[in-house]
Structure 1
Amino acid sequence: MTKKGIKKLKIRRLKIINFKAIDFIEIEFPKPIIKNEPDVFVMGSINGLGKTSILEACTLLVLAITGGIKLRNRGPFEFPINFFDLLIRSGSDKAVIEADVEINNKVQLVSLTLHTNGKIDIDHPNAVSANKDGNVEMYDYFIHTLAGYSNEPLLFSYFMYFHSYRKVQEGRIPLGMIVDREERDEHIPRLRPFYRKPLKSIFKGEVLKAFIGGANLVETLDPKDSSAVLIKLNNLLKNYAKGTIEKLTADADSTVDFRVTPVNGGKSFAFDGLSSGQKEIISTLFLIWHYTQNSSAVVLIDEPELHLNHEWHRNFIGQLNIMAPNNQYIIATHSEDIADSVDKNRRIILRHS
């Protein structure tokens, strides 16, 4: 299954054995029963019981589906961490991740087994039919994330992972960010992911493309699409920061910065001047909407409450359903407000067995 062939992806059942700190867990992610019911599942627990490990297991499973042959071919010796020691529970010789996955409305059983000797077994009918590049981009981004080398979320039209140490990178961005991510990556050496150039802010890159495209200055950027993106972005800015992005500032090194203009008047200021909570909720909601406008994705969010005030905790899931209602959301949280915002059959509290 190529990543370009996926228009709808959902995970309906997940079983994990000896993966990181988890010895065994099996979870059902129920389908919505009534029209317009959010497809959301919330996990809560004290620290150390495996909420993040569950999200990482989901990520590896999607890798197995969309680029299985490439996952098999990339061993533990390419990275400055022992990949398999990190993922396989101490004292075990293998870790197993199994799931019922809905791909383009067809439910399939998928399993992934990691062995301490470096062997990877994938049981999925389409695992070896990945496209030419497999899912090298997603695989490398995930390894960056797993090792803490990247604060960027993992973003694809069918799958997204917002890890707990995500952050909108501060500073100016190069004008070259108006080029599509796939084209930019062609110019990044693929020797080893940890020796690549640092990843630039994906959020700021998408905003820059919309800003330049809306001005109809670049032939390959549709001004109508770009204008719609800017409207959505500025609606979020008005709601959470009482401002809009109207101007850019440029530097001699061909980098640019965004200026936020207060809606009630006043001097503009840099986007980086917003609070961490404002940048977090604006960027997260915007990227989810932007990347899944024409698809139905699995969206994993680890600790969405980071930097947010309690008022935003209470309506976060409601905002997700307004912005992008066709996605499946699997959320790990410490926030009681977020957990209480979904029905009891759509949340679980992890406890020691």
Structure 2
Amino acid sequence: MQLTQHARLSVAPMMDWTDRHCRFFHRLLSRHTLLYTEMVTAPALVRGGALHLLRHDPAEQPVALQLGGSDADELAQAAALGWQAGYREINLNCGCPSDRVQSGSFGAVLMEHPALVGDICAAMIAASPAEVTVKCRIGVDAQVPEEILPAFLETLSQAGVRRVIIHARKAWLQGLSPKDNREIPPLDYPLVLAMKAAFPQMHISINGGVTSLAQAAGLLDEGLDGVMIGRAAYQRPADLLQDADRIVFGDMSGGRDPFEAVQAMRPYILRELSEGVRLASITRHMLGLFAGKPGARVWRRILSENAHRAGAGTEVLDMALDAVNAAAVPEPQQQS
């Protein structure tokens, strides 16, 4: 399956969330969904030599590397390093509104400098065989999305970019926190659909406000090429990923249920523990596995209270699973 096919459904890059442990876990729930790293800054790789940030398990594939930065030469070098590390897609962050990226003049700030973005993308494309993609907003601050977005996409297209993920909200660089930027600016799905009609040659995915597979399938039916899901996929991973292969990709073999996913994580957890990783670093990404199901609260509580303890191992998972199973068994009714 080509990357463009995997991109029918993807899990968004999310800082502090979609690390390598999270991605390994998500891959156990869906074989086909495209996964993304947390944003890695080009300066960290090129100037800081932090190549450990590129570490990933081959089992995570298909997985894309998201880069942040604003220097074309540096991003080109970082893209080449990503390709060498095994990533076949390199995504440029043009959508993050955090103070950190604003101070570095990248992320959503780049939407104010489309010519620079075009130069960056052209340099990245020339630097390696990896597919270069862009994740952006519909505009920032006082920009008029209906004017800025088509011009921005035209610049990307001329630079050689063929796949774009559009977060269907504006980013307000002044006055809103990153959290508020994910929730307060109104969604504009019709504009993203209009961009697909205006740029039929581009693969356009939509991001923002998608909370179910049914909603994702509906957006695909409307003509979009892909749907990217963020917080819902992290907070309710089984709900969003367990049936993704069947519903989105037509693979009727089915995904793992939550209990099977926990068992499949055991060898990975044991390996990582042997290398000095703390259990909580892995299980924190699994807290929402039983969300909406009997035992969800006790599962979260047991992992939260015990996984961080020194020497904690898979016995914590056993204890949590036993509690989930107990919660799922109805209590016997007493005779009157």
- What TM-score, normalized by structure 2, do the two folds share? 0.31
Q: Which has the higher strand share?
A: 1
Q: Which has the higher helix share?
A: 2
Larger RCO (alpha carbons 8 Å, 6+ apart): 1
